Amino acid sequence: MTEKEFYQWLVDIRRRLHAHPELAYQEYRTSALIAGELEKLGLPYQTGLAKTGVVAELGQDGPLVALRADMDALPLSEETGLPFASRIPGVMHACGHDGHVAMLLGAAYLLKENPPPGRVRLIFQPAEEKGAGALAMIKEGVLEGVSFIFGGHIDRHFRVGEIAVNEGLICAFTDTFKVRITGKGGHAAWPHEAVDAVVCGALLVMNLQTIISREINPAHPSVITVGRFQAGTAHNVIAEEALLEGTIRSTDPKVRERIIKSIKRMAQGLAHLYRARLEVEIKEGYPPVINDAEAAKIAKQAAVAVVGEKGLCQQPHPSLGGEDFAFYLKHVPGCFVRFGAVKQGLENVPAHSPKFDFDEAVLPIGAKFLAEVAKTALTHLRKNRL
């Protein structure tokens, strides 16, 4: 393929995926498309791992390095108006995972054309957004024999031609919580005979914010967001019940523990204060992404080879987003990078927005980086073993 044909091929894959997004663990069509492309490349692969995951392998012997792409979309109705916009109502590739799949297939092609000094395992993973697909793939054994793992995410905070590589923590702990408030329903005009779950819930929402602002060292980034507050049935009825749901983002295990304890303490306090019952449920989410120092060095070297010294940059601070690549890094050293992909005119449209899109010029850059980082890591492994 010429450079132009390569680009067109990647764009075509991305657009086919974009038009047919699939949610976590339902990526059957996506999986079939990947299998079809791997077939054309003549690479051996396995499908049906963790339901819809696909794994392919290149090379015969030597050290083994893994590359990972996520495949799932989000439950959103697309509003981009693009000619290849989602044809599936209520489902959209609004995080760029369609691009990640195209990039990894691109890397497969490049590695096939230019064989690496060892083995490369390509992991196409389901359910990154929800359902910890990485964990499910690890259970399927995809990390067996792997010395390093690499992956990346399309990112509108950087320009096309930039690759951000950081060492250490780059993504937060993500935990979710639920608070169920039970008061006593009643007539809107007789509050003295009721216990208002809405007032209690409103106080809780406001007070939770003081955990971050008044109890946590501001040097440790953290966030509490109540994303859902459901209560009441009519304007003139005092609500008996309220349900609050939210997320906790933190970058330090002690801070994380402290926030969870504080949420429980505040709920208890408000229960006394308002004669209501508050039940708190915390659900542990994704661990933080912590890039290995050696792997980050390898990734930097690969990034420079693809985008030059000028293109290599750093995330200025950890993102409080979550990323289930973290699970792989608990088992194997690796590095997760950011591919600059901001599209002109969409500088202020974040991922997970119904208007999200990225500049497709990032696709060959991501593909080249993935192929390059695998080769660099294998060369590094060979040298160190001699």
Residues in binding site for Mn(2+): 95, 97, 129, 153, 352
Q: Is 24 in the site for Ni ion (CB under 5 A)?
A: no
Binding-site size, Ni ion (CB under 5 A): 1
Q: Is 143 in the site for Ni ion (CB under 5 A)?
A: no
Q: Is 332 in the site for Ni ion (CB under 5 A)?
A: no
Nearest distance from C-beta of residue 82 to Ni ion, angstroms: 19
> Based on CB atoms, which residue is closest to Ni ion, 69 or 374?
69
> Based on CB atoms, which residue is closest to Ni ion, 249 or 375?
249
Per DSSP, 288 falls in state: P
Nearest distance from C-beta of residue 149 to Ni ion, angstroms: 17
Q: Is 92 in the site for Ni ion (CB under 5 A)?
A: no
Distance CA 339, CA 303 (A): 10
Q: Which residues contact 338 (CB under 8 A, 6 or more apart)?
A: 152, 153, 154, 155, 157, 158, 163, 164, 315
Q: Is 94 in the site for Ni ion (CB under 5 A)?
A: no
The residue type found at 279 is E
Region binding Ni ion by CB under 5 A among candidate stretches 35-43, 47-55, 73-81, 93-101: 93-101
Region binding Ni ion by CB under 5 A among candidate stretches 89-97, 156-164, 241-249, 287-295: 89-97
Strands (E), the chain: 45-49, 53-58, 64-70, 119-125, 148-155, 163-164, 168-171, 173-182, 186-187, 222-231, 237-238, 241-250, 277-286, 289-291, 312-313, 334-340
Region binding Ni ion by CB under 5 A among candidate stretches 95-103, 171-179, 293-301, 362-370: 95-103
Q: What are phi and psi of 333, to 5 degrees?
A: -65, 145
Instruction: Say how many Å lie between the first and final Cα of the chain, rounded.
Output: 36
3-state secondary structure of 232: coil
Q: What sign does the dihedral 250-326-78-348 (CA atoms) show?
A: positive
Nearest distance from C-beta of residue 48 to Ni ion, angstroms: 23
Binding residues: 95, 97, 129, 153, 352
187-216 footprint of Ni ion as x/- string (CB under 5 A)? ------------------------------
> Based on CB atoms, which residue is closest to Ni ion, 95 or 163?
95
Per DSSP, 192 falls in state: G
The number of residues making up the chain comes to 386
Q: Is 172 in the site for Ni ion (CB under 5 A)?
A: no
Hey, what's the torsion of the CAs at 109, 112, 113, 118, to 10 degrees?
130
Nearest distance from C-beta of residue 284 to Ni ion, angstroms: 20
> Based on CB atoms, which residue is closest to Ni ion, 97 or 300?
97
Distance CA 197, CA 201 (A): 6
229-258 footprint of Ni ion as x/- string (CB under 5 A)? ------------------------------
Alpha-carbon distance values, 12 to 8, 102, 219, 363 (Å): 6, 9, 45, 11
Task: List the one residue from 34, 66, 71, 95 that touches Ni ion (CB under 5 A).
Answer: 95
Region binding Ni ion by CB under 5 A among candidate stretches 92-100, 212-220, 238-246, 288-296: 92-100
Q: What are phi and psi of 227, to 5 degrees?
A: -95, -10
Region binding Ni ion by CB under 5 A among candidate stretches 76-84, 94-102, 159-167, 309-317: 94-102
Q: Is 370 in the site for Ni ion (CB under 5 A)?
A: no
Q: What is the Cβ-side half-sphere exposure of residue 192, based on CA atoms within 13 angstroms? A: 0
Of all residues in this chain, which one has the CB nearest to Ni ion in the complex?
A: 95
Residues that bind Ni ion (CB under 5 A): 95
